A and B are shown apart, each in its own frame.
Chain A
Amino acid sequence: MPFSVIPVKEIREDFFFRFCDDRDIRGLVASVRASGVITPVPVLVSDTDPPYVPVAGFSRLRAVKETGLEEVPVRLLSAALPAAEHFYNEVRIHTAANEISVIGKARILAILHRLDHHDALLHRFADLLGIPNQPPVREELSVLLDLQQSVREYISGNGLSLKQCRMFTGMDPALQDRWMAVAAGLHMRAVELAEVMQLTADIAGRGKIPAAAVLESGEITAILESPDMNGSQKRRHLKKCLLELRYPELTSILQRLRSLVRESAPPACVAVDWDATLEEPGIAVSARLKTAEDLEAAAGWLRRPGLMPVLRDMLKEI
């Protein structure tokens, strides 16, 4: 396979075949500055000007640009094979290293669409990428490329699955950025983010208001901007607040039950509990008796004159 060193300016800058995510290349820049480009960049020779089309090595090329090098070592790919075949081989190297995010997969499909005979290629590439070669799946992937840059970075950085990405599709761009700011500020993992986003969307859907309005409501803003809470506390409070807004009836019944328990003032050894979904009726009153004092306290509680009406009220609620 012929190797060569060519002027950087002879490499096309449109990066037609670039499918990987932008990554932090500071280390790579330092390495290139110290030792130059060690692994040659695979390029196709075209009849365009400039003539060299890279098929991989885009981070290396970015690093070369940053360092100001004027020449770069390249591996000249055989003209006997179609460009798609070389592209396939490069993608295969990355899939073997499990390096391709769903955004990368979406980019690969978009690249295929710009190549000749792309229908014939789709099946092979879909197999390679481990995605069903079905129009709805391809459509879902292509939509990801329209997401905001911040969201695409979040998807790639957190290794979201295609299913997890659905939480962003169809979302207003400003709201996408807003959620990304929330996720960054609260250090939210994808699962947590999906949950609060779904709750927010449901609250908005129920109230027929935009989701942004829910996020901008006083209660939510107070949590997000509170100087007294750390990220973990904010996450917990945000979820609690959203759950209360999403399930007002359940919340209200549970709050009344908790208030009645407080009114009944059970001793520490007595627990009053119920099915949190209210699906099963009734309350469970149990006592853990470790000492004679516990026994006295539990018995005293049961004899309290005001207890029965409170328990009756609880049973009415549940």
Chain B
Amino acid sequence: MHYRFKEIVIDETAAESPLAERVLAALPGVPVFRGDTVEIRRHFDGIDHSRGKRIIHITTDRGHLVKPCPATNPPYLCCRYTVINSANQCPMDCSYCVLQAYLERPLITLFANTGDIMQEIAALQRAQPRRFFRFGTGELADSLALDRITGQSREFISFFNSRRNCLLELKTKTDHVDALLTANPANSVIAWSMNAKEVVRREELRAAPVNGRLDAAERCQERGFLLAFHFDPIVQTEQAGEGYREMVDALFRRIDPGRIAWISLGALRYPPSLREVMLRRFPESSILYDEMIRGRDGKMRYLRPKRIGLFRTVYDRIREYSRDLFIYFCMEPPWVWDAVTGFHPSSNADLDFRFAESLHRRFPEIDMDRPLPEYYQ
């Protein structure tokens, strides 16, 4: 998938950066606006989402670009992922995307100070040297959507190649893996957000189709990368059961469970403020009219019995292919874990530890210390 951009905006702090040079070289002929932060803010004041997705904004941020995943509040369990916010926003347009309500300005913002990000990662690891960290660039952006233009992922992969006790996860809905196929796969996990074909077609505008994602995953598998899959958001539809079972079957027809580092399951959830944006931007989306309640964390969610039903469908099908695969739920309470798996982690820290323990046991090639619970408190 190629995306068309209408403008490149370069903050003066990033004007000389290699990232700006790469983007300008990759997008010849696209108009460029240069200015300081105030001028850029004024220039794009009040811009709407659809236009923002066509503008690349290159800047720097001296704040914290590496931080714990915002997660959600108890009783919902979260996995203590660490996010690398090297980019915000994405050129695809999923109706349910939380970034529509989350980001202040909808420009695709790329942070050029990659060196600072790497220093932050190193500092975080120095502070907890025996803990195993999972880092990812796919929280506020798609990790690979702009990789053909930015080349950022290769920089991160090279950085992580030689690091101990950590993995980098590049999470995407694209099939943009060409640049990865000549990279060293050590310590990197390439992950795909997966969904039933019907949901992809209806709700994930400009994202790669399921088969395209699986083609790309297969190529990464052949290159030696570890893989991960996020069945998130699982969306309730009339054919949800069949749709998700088909997706799981399609996945395991092509991917070796022994090369999957983890699979997450998450049911559709969103902050109430997103609904207003969706009503404006995607009034035809049936997601808007699903029966949802406001969860304990304030997010809109399907009824618990409905979520359990959806999770059981996917979880049980995955277990038909592998008993050993690490499967976790994103933002679900302990009683949902219990209802689906018969077990729940005792805390977020425990879930984090179990991640590390599974990786250590299943993938001896990962350069990591034997995980001990005391380092995960």
Contact B289 A250 (CB under 8 A): no
A94-102, A132-140, A185-193: which lies at the B interface? A132-140
**Residue of B48, B276, B283, B304 with most partner-chain A CB within 10 A:** B304
Q: Give the contacting residue for B48; candidates A132, A136, A202, A206; CB below 8 A.
A: A136
Task: Using known A-B contacts A132-B46, A134-B45, determine if residue A279 contacts B305 with beta carbons closer than 8 Å.
Answer: no
Q: Chain A: residues with CB nearer than 8 A to chain B?
A: 132, 134-137, 166, 202, 205-206, 246-250, 253, 277-281
Contact partners of A278 in chain B: CB under 8 A: 293, 303-305
Contact partners of B293 in chain A: CB under 8 A: 250, 277-279
Task: Using known A-B contacts A205-B288, A247-B291, A277-B294, determine if residue A253 contacts B305 with beta carbons closer than 8 Å.
Answer: yes
Q: Give the contacting residue for B291; candidates A134, A166, A249; CB below 8 A.
A: A249
Chain B residue at minimal CB-CB distance from A246: B291
Contact A250 B304 (CB under 8 A): no
Tally of contacts, chain A with chain B, CB under 8 A: 46
Contact B303 A280 (CB under 8 A): no
Min CB distance, A41 to chain B, in Å? 37
Task: Using known A-B contacts A202-B288, A249-B306, determine if residue A279 contacts B46 with beta carbons closer than 8 Å.
Answer: no
Q: How far does the alpha carbon of A243 sit from the alpha carbon of B48 in the complex, in Å?
A: 33
Contact A249 B303 (CB under 8 A): yes
Could you list 9 A-B pairs, sorted by A, with CB under 8 Å? A132-B46, A134-B46, A136-B46, A136-B48, A279-B295, A279-B296, A279-B301, A281-B304, A281-B335
Contact partners of B75 in chain A: CB under 8 A: 280
**Residue of A132, A246, A249 with most partner-chain B CB within 10 A:** A249
Task: For chain B, give the interface size range.
Answer: 20 to 34
0 or 1 for each of B45-78: is its CB under 8 Å from A? (1 = yes): 1101000000000000000000000000001000
Q: B94-122: which have CB < 8 Å to A?
A: none
Q: How far does the alpha carbon of A132 sit from the alpha carbon of B305 in the complex, in Å?
A: 44
Contact partners of B296 in chain A: CB under 8 A: 279-280
Chain A residue at minimal CB-CB distance from B285: A205
Task: Using known A-B contacts A136-B48, A280-B335, determine if residue A206 contacts B304 with beta carbons closer than 8 Å.
Answer: no
Contact partners of A280 in chain B: CB under 8 A: 75, 296, 333, 335
Contact partners of A279 in chain B: CB under 8 A: 293, 295-296, 301, 304, 333
Contact B335 A135 (CB under 8 A): no
Min CB distance, B281 to chain A, in Å? 12
Min CB distance, B335 to chain A, in Å? 5
Contact partners of B301 in chain A: CB under 8 A: 279
**Residue of A134, A249, A277 with most partner-chain B CB within 10 A:** A277
Contact partners of B288 in chain A: CB under 8 A: 202, 205
Closest 5 CB pairs of A and B: A134-B46, A206-B289, A277-B293, A205-B289, A281-B335
**Residue of B276, B291, B301 with most partner-chain A CB within 10 A:** B291
Q: How far does the alpha carbon of A250 sit from the alpha carbon of B46 in the complex, in Å?
A: 39
Contact partners of A134 in chain B: CB under 8 A: 45-46
**Residue of B45, B46, B296 with most partner-chain A CB within 10 A:** B46
Chain A residue at minimal CB-CB distance from B292: A247
Q: How far does the alpha carbon of A278 sit from the alpha carbon of B276 in the complex, in Å?
A: 25
Contact partners of B283 in chain A: CB under 8 A: 205
Min CB distance, A254 to chain B, in Å? 11
Min CB distance, A244 to chain B, in Å? 11
Contact B46 A202 (CB under 8 A): no
Q: B264-304: which have CB < 8 Å to A?
A: 276, 283, 286, 288-289, 291, 293-296, 301, 303-304
Q: How far does the alpha carbon of A134 sit from the alpha carbon of B42 in the complex, in Å?
A: 10
Q: How far does the alpha carbon of A136 sit from the alpha carbon of B48 in the complex, in Å?
A: 8
Q: How far does the alpha carbon of A28 sit from the alpha carbon of B276 in the complex, in Å?
A: 42
Contact partners of A205 in chain B: CB under 8 A: 283, 288-289
Q: How far does the alpha carbon of A279 sit from the alpha carbon of B293 in the complex, in Å?
A: 8
Q: How far does the alpha carbon of A206 sit from the alpha carbon of B305 in the complex, in Å?
A: 20
Contact partners of B305 in chain A: CB under 8 A: 253, 278
Contact partners of A246 in chain B: CB under 8 A: 291
Task: Using known A-B contacts A253-B305, A279-B295, determine if residue A137 contacts B46 with beta carbons closer than 8 Å.
Answer: yes
Min CB distance, A8 to chain B, in Å? 44
Contact partners of A137 in chain B: CB under 8 A: 46
**Residue of A134, A246, A279 with most partner-chain B CB within 10 A:** A279
Contact partners of B46 in chain A: CB under 8 A: 132, 134-137
Q: How far does the alpha carbon of A149 sit from the alpha carbon of B75 in the complex, in Å?
A: 49
Contact A250 B295 (CB under 8 A): no
